[in-house]
Amino acid sequence: MFLNEFEKYNSQYEKGIKKISVRSSYPKIVKEPIDLKLEKSHGNSDLFFNRKGLLLHSVHTEKNKNFKVIYGYNQKGTLISIMKLLSETNELISLSEFEYDEKGRIETETVRSFYYNLGYDVTEEHIHTYTDSKEEIFMSSDDEEEDEHTLYLTYDSKKRVTEEKAIRNEDELVYWNKNEYDKDDNLVKEISLDEHGQPDGVYEFLPFKNGLTSGYNCKSKDSSYLREYSFTLNEKGHWINQVMMNDGEPIYFYDRTIEYY
């Protein structure tokens, strides 16, 4: 597990939360007899936090296997390791380690994945370098079939990402985006650029409506659709149900159970 995946889970924390359980599903039409049912989907997890808000461990339930993740910190509460294991046997799936520079910025992410049935393991590494308002992330693997990637990030004076560009094997553009924000630091527009720097698509983000709906309009030469997220909140203002829709049609459902200290 790399740092960005950890941050996806860790960002769900709100003050006083002990445990967050998320279950996802999608609508599926059954032909004989004709019926509509909710099919279990990916992204099912149980997140466990301590009273200080540190994510201690998590349990992930997927269709074919279940695994648990243990997060390790130093005395300052900085993440330094992640260990992922199969739930049934504690078989080690992967081990992640993180190193930081003197300013506390992530410097090196190393993830070693174990494939016991195939008789080998794979080590992936993300190396971060910083210059002024820019960050460069070089992503490599000792698996010969994996390509090298470099991600270039540009920040403004508020540390917001204003440009993101990914290159494969030094010269092949993977994607190139520029971001625009409003006065409250909310992302309002993401512009996709082609290899010549010309716009070829745009995401226009919708403002939250009373904290209950959000989403974006996607417009490109290949597709155009409206993605919306509708929320149900509990008495503390934390969402417990979410419906993801494309052009008004539900495509995913998320149920979230929250336990508090």
Indicate if the pLDDT at residue 169 is higher than 80.
yes
- What pLDDT band is residue 200 in, cutting at 50, 70 and 90? very high
In the chain, where the domains are located: 1-124, 203-261
- What pLDDT band is residue 211 in, cutting at 50, 70 and 90? low
Indicate if the pLDDT at residue 198 is higher than 70.
yes
**Alpha-carbon separation of residue 145 from 1, 149, 193, 232 (angstroms):** 20, 13, 28, 44
Contact 216, 207 (CB under 8 A): no
pLDDT in tens, 78-114: 999 999 999 999 999 999 999 999 999 999 999 999 9
Nearest to 137 by CA among 129, 125, 147, 145: 129
The pair of structure tokens assigned to 188 is 């309002």
Indicate if the pLDDT at residue 117 is higher than 90.
no
Report pLDDT for 212.
75
With residue 8 as reference, give the H or E element that holds it.
helix 3-10
Q: Considering the chain, what percentage of its residues have pLDDT values greater than 90?
A: 84
pLDDT in tens, 23-62: 999 988 776 676 767 788 888 999 999 999 999 999 998 7
- What pLDDT band is residue 170 in, cutting at 50, 70 and 90? confident
Mean pLDDT rounded to a whole number for the chain: 93
- What pLDDT band is residue 233 in, cutting at 50, 70 and 90? very high
Report pLDDT for 213.
78
Report pLDDT for 38.
79
The torsion of the CA quartet 202, 208, 209, 215, rounded to 10 degrees, works out to 40
pTM of the model: 0.90
Alpha-carbon distance of 67 to 65, in angstroms, equals 7
Alpha-carbon distance of 87 to 76, in angstroms, equals 29
